[in-house]
A and B are shown apart, each in its own frame.
Chain A
Amino acid sequence: MQKKWADRALLVVFILLAALLYRSAADYPGIAQTTSAKYVRFLAVFIGVLCLAQLGFGLMREHGREVLVLSESPRRFFGLLVGLVLFAIAFEPLGFYLSAALFIPAIGWMLGYRRPLVLALTTAGVLGFVYVVFVQLLSVRLPGIEIF
């Protein structure tokens, strides 16, 4: 998709959001009508006007054909993204240590690092550090199955 079209689509979405935000202010109860609702309306009008202005400028001035590229290597980019989501899903059922012990070497490998010993030592170092600093010193409660 060309950048200019992606930008225009985003601006249209923001304008629609601004309209919905403005309308939503009518539902604010009691004292909020004269306080928070006014603030919300101001934000809605402000972003709506800004988006319309940007849309207008864009239509008048932007004629390039530059394509929107999120990543040069989609496999690695989406690999990390999927890895993050799986890490989040596994965070509570598996616990931090087990999920991180899978996540770190898997992502390192996926990104092309091929030295298993370094990956293993790095993972162990991170887990040990988290255990000492977060769990022991700062009393942060980490969820799920703990291997320590």
Chain B
Amino acid sequence: MEYLAIVFSPAALLTIFIGTFAGVAIGGMPGLTATMAVGLLVPFTYTMDPTMGLMLLGGIYAGAMYGGSIPAILLNTPGTPAAVATAIEGYPMSRAGRAPLALKTSVTASFVGGTFSVLILLLFAPFLARQALAFGPAETFLLALMGLAGIISIADENSSLIKALIAGVLGMIIALVGTDDMSGSLRYTMGMVDLIDGIDFMPALIGLFSMIQMLELAGQRGHEIDTSALHKAQKREKLPKGIGRFMGLGAGTGTLIGILPGEGATIAAFISYNVAKRISKTRELFGKGNPEGIAAAEAGNNGCVGGSLVPTITLGIPGNSVAAALMGAFIIQGMIPGPDLFTEYADRTYPFILSLFVANGVFLAIGLFFAPYLARIALVPPAIMVPVVAAFAVLGSYALNNSVFDIYLMIAFALGGLVLKKLGYSLEALILGLILGPIAEGGFAQGMVIGRGSPWIFFESNIAKVMWLIILALLIPPLYSYWKHVHRAGKAAG
């Protein structure tokens, strides 16, 4: 009760509201990430009351994770990498005039995923963190493979499985550029200083998902948008029946993956999306605007919020980069992660955890209230929309590293991506390979070192065996249905 009184004090509620609102706005802007915002604000919280400072940062984290879905749905521009899967389903829904439903699904699923994960954080933090310690590099590699298995399900009846795989591996190859972590030597940088740290995925993401859209829009002969569908869609659409189980699926998956050190919301979103696609009764609608996909992906990435804080505050192992920045806020306040946080600093830690529930409620209210208005972005004439989005794309590419090189990179990705897209290669697979490639390589390389060069390390532990089974379960059904499709098409042709 004492902790609840702290959270529900006017000052705390205002702090949480400001943090969450700012988080939604930051997450909604392509190029700005929760990591960047939390990292920038950590020094400012030093002068604040410690509990208030942590609540502000927690609000930003929760809000930004949801906020990423807004431009993903409306503009096909994921505000954060974790919203890529949301864009796959959300944008086709917007194009069909169903943006309000997509936004409502997104915010509800985000709320469910976020709230569930914070509940788990509150109840099981110390126990779950100990389980996560059993995850070594080999299991991390397998977890990345599980995420990459999503490439198989990106390929459907309309796109070639081989081309999806080529795009995915191409993304992993692009991710090789930079410094080799094992030897510290430079590779494929062509002597360019800007490539020493590798190719940041934000310019790639902005180029592949935002600029391509703008280039296509600019190059269309007729610029008129049929707004009647959008007006019609302003009438409230109810959430589809049975969508709750996809939210539950995402919430569980996201929380579990969030707990694993180093794993992020992007993997959680893709794995949740992938499983949802497998179990859905309306599988054929995936990729064309299925709210079930949004529900799973958004509950998945928001599930990571609470999950990632489990190892962070109990063991001092950040669940992901935002959690690492948050850990910095704990440390500068003298709150060293560990058992002390739940005893000596309980009066700060528990209000912080409880404030995340409020933050979830705040973004739910923001999302539900603003969703119909946000959908009106689609009414802006393309001749205005294109230069404005392009300017933000340029700024977003630049802002992360203060690098003009990243702007050129974004343009190159947009142009190259457009050629690939026109030739039938999956850009979603490309970006998935680009994001998960470094995680897969890191896990593989460290696993090989621990296994003294033997690949058996990836099959040894019980966790690894279970993970291989899950990977096979993810791969076999889509491969079989794809084979059946090709076989049927071959018969029809022959």
Contact = CB atoms under 8 A, between A and B. Distances in A.
A121 to B, nearest CB: 10
A7 B404 contact: no
B185 A107 contact: no
A29 B386 contact: no
Interface string B202-240: 000000000100111011110100000000000000000
The size bracket of the interface on B is 35 or more
Given A28-B183, A81-B215, A100-B391, A72 B166 contact: no
Given A43-B169, A88-B394, A111 B407 contact: no
A68 B422 contact: yes
Given A35-B182, A72-B220, A104 B169 contact: no
Nearest to B160: A54
Given A38-B448, A111-B383, A138 B40 contact: yes
A80 B218 contact: yes
Given A47-B173, A51-B166, A96-B395, A71 B215 contact: yes
A32 interface: yes
Nearest to B433: A43
Interface string A102-135: 0111111001110000110010001000100110
Given A35-B449, A80-B218, A91-B404, A103 B391 contact: yes
Contacts of A40: 176
Main secondary structure of the interface of A (DSSP, over half): helix
A105 B407 CA distance: 20
A70 interface: yes
Interface string A78-100: 01110111011001100010001
Most buried by A among B166, B214, B392: B166
A14 B170 contact: yes
A96 B188 CA distance: 31
Main secondary structure of the interface of B (DSSP, over half): helix
Interface in B122-144: none
A31 B36 CA distance: 34
Interface stretch (B359-367, B370-378, B411-419, B463-471): B411-419
Contacts of B424: 7
Interface string B415-436: 1001110111000000000000
Interface string B158-170: 0010110110011
Nearest to B172: A43
B192 interface: no
B421 to A, nearest CB: 10
Contacts of A140: 399
Interface of B: 22, 25-26, 29, 32, 36-37, 40, 160, 162-163, 165-166, 169-170, 172-173, 176, 180-183, 185, 187-188, 211, 214-216, 218-221, 223, 381-384, 386-388, 390-392, 394-395, 398-399, 402, 404, 407-408, 411, 415, 418-420, 422-424, 440-441, 444-446, 448-449, 453
Interface of A: 3, 6-7, 10, 14, 17, 21, 24, 28-32, 34-36, 38-40, 43-44, 46-47, 50-51, 53-54, 57, 68-74, 76-77, 79-81, 83-85, 87-88, 91-92, 96, 100, 103-108, 111-113, 118-119, 122, 126, 130, 133-134, 137-143
20 contacts: A3-B423, A6-B423, A7-B423, A17-B173, A24-B187, A38-B448, A51-B166, A54-B166, A70-B419, A73-B221, A87-B391, A87-B407, A88-B394, A88-B404, A104-B388, A111-B383, A122-B388, A133-B29, A137-B22, A138-B37
